[in-house]
A and B are shown apart, each in its own frame.
Chain A
């Protein structure tokens, strides 16, 4: 097995507040191989998003280590691209200028970055909207612009924090398909946080289930679909595959969600 791209070793995180300490994560360990697409699911409030903050270097663990390419994470890392729950496009910037935000911050040569952003946006069907403002675009288009912003700095690792949660359900399915395809083709290492089991099974090749707070790894599932030439099916095809429902049921039981609490 190649060296892990992202590795968490006995990671714990406690929040401090005037009312005391809150233990968000406890003894979380897992490794993600280069090019792997992993989904993390768990009950709400289990610290899923906190995990991404740790991997992106925006927060530091109170216990344990987070490693990227074998090196401890000490702050935001250029290898990591982070997509938040909403697009958070800046309303005062055009779509192209928005896509260039990361490149500007990281001091890329701007002429090159501009070419790359234009290329990405065009590939995602936004070629005619480069000089439009975010408010002139639909939710799905905005999220694709946010993807271009994330990938413009060419990160190896992409963190997705429920990136479709603000979209309507049709757009959500279509965009999940599209984004999964893009990320697989570019061989990115992807960690997806979601509360949607169907999304996890159809997009990822591995699903990690977190327990309720304090979150720790409850189980780890490889998602395999029997297919002709061992090519991973598209998310749409995966949803139609016979294995889909089996995985769905198994993960649903694992999540152990009771409506009353």
Chain B
């Protein structure tokens, strides 16, 4: 019968409540250890420069970041506010990975549709994927200009891996499911729409996970070169004028942004997988 019927709500036995307690304790231990690592790192970062064990000029302090952050909230004639910088980076990242997902899925679908096209392009895709895309930052700057080169870098860095991952996902759909659809007389477009795409949702989410991280890398690297806006620019600017407070504040915000992105995708994954 249905699997869900197997776990009957029984009265809680002493053994079961024991087991629950052990489970809870082990979960708490993991959380506590995770938090401890973060705290220890922050403490070391605060203490080592203060004791002059490392040069504070190079590392700044965690306690300096909050005042710097508050300071940067206000825009000055020379400098946009930190919110504007952060927003610019986030928008470019979202544009980058959305474009990579849409274009990547479209290319993967084309490769699935025309098998010969895949056979022809396969070596180029593999090489393009293996190439260090960051080497193209100056070239993109020349070709695309200040703003577009950031989007370009973000897309370039995540597109090829997206195509390869999604194409592999398409190939991994059970051929018998395709045979089943064909036995009803399904056209190729119907097979793509009703079998291949819905059957590849787990792959699409895996690609999205990889993509979001890579797009952020692409945006920050792009901003190093070309922008006067964005967290990548702030890092570059701060290090040039040797203001580590600015650099570390930008890095901290980047860490928070990527954590939030990870959480958002994990929530999406949980929502989609509940139906499977």
Chain A residues within 8 Å of B, Cβ to Cβ? 56, 58, 75-78, 80-82, 84, 86, 88, 90-93, 101-102, 104-106, 129, 132-133, 135-138, 153
Contact = CB atoms under 8 A, between A and B. Distances in A.
A129 B3 CA distance: 13
Contacts of A102: 184
Contacts of A80: 183
Contacts of A75: 185
B184 A84 contact: no
B180 A88 contact: yes
B183 A58 contact: yes
A71 B82 CA distance: 75
Contact of B184 (A106, A132, A135, A138): A106
Given A90-B195, A92-B198, A101-B194, A129 B184 contact: no
A90 B199 contact: yes
Nearest to A128: B2
B176 A105 contact: no
Interface in B176-199: 176-177, 179-186, 190, 194-195, 198-199
A76 B184 CA distance: 7
Contacts of A101: 180-181, 184, 194
A76 B1 contact: no
Interface in B145-200: 174, 176-177, 179-186, 190, 194-195, 198-199
B180 to A, nearest CB: 5
Contacts of A104: 194
Interface of B: 1-4, 174, 176-177, 179-186, 190, 194-195, 198-199, 201, 275-276
Contacts of B276: 91-92, 133, 135
A78 B180 contact: no
B174 A92 contact: no
Contacts of B174: 88
B183 A76 contact: yes
Given A90-B198, A136-B4, A138-B1, 20 more contacts: A58-B183, A75-B185, A76-B182, A76-B184, A77-B185, A81-B183, A86-B176, A90-B195, A90-B199, A91-B276, A92-B198, A92-B199, A92-B275, A93-B198, A101-B180, A101-B181, A105-B181, A105-B184, A105-B190, A135-B3
Contacts of B194: 101, 104-105
B2 A137 contact: yes
A157 B263 CA distance: 52
Contacts of A76: 182-185
B4 A105 contact: no
Contact of A88 (B4, B177, B190): B177
Contact of B176 (A56, A88, A93, A133): A88
Contact of B182 (A58, A81, A91, A106): A58
Nearest to B4: A136
Nearest to B3: A136
Given A133-B275, A137-B2, A105 B177 contact: no
A82 B185 contact: no
Contact of A153 (B176, B180, B181, B184): B184
Given A101-B194, A104-B194, A129 B181 contact: no
A84 B181 CA distance: 11
Nearest to B2: A136
A90 B177 contact: yes
Contacts of A129: 2
A91 to B, nearest CB: 6
Contacts of A86: 176
A153 B179 CA distance: 17
Contacts of A106: 184-185
Most buried by B among A56, A77, A129: A56
13 contacts: A56-B183, A58-B182, A76-B182, A78-B185, A84-B180, A90-B177, A92-B198, A92-B275, A102-B184, A133-B275, A135-B3, A136-B4, A153-B184
Nearest to B201: A92
B17 to A, nearest CB: 29
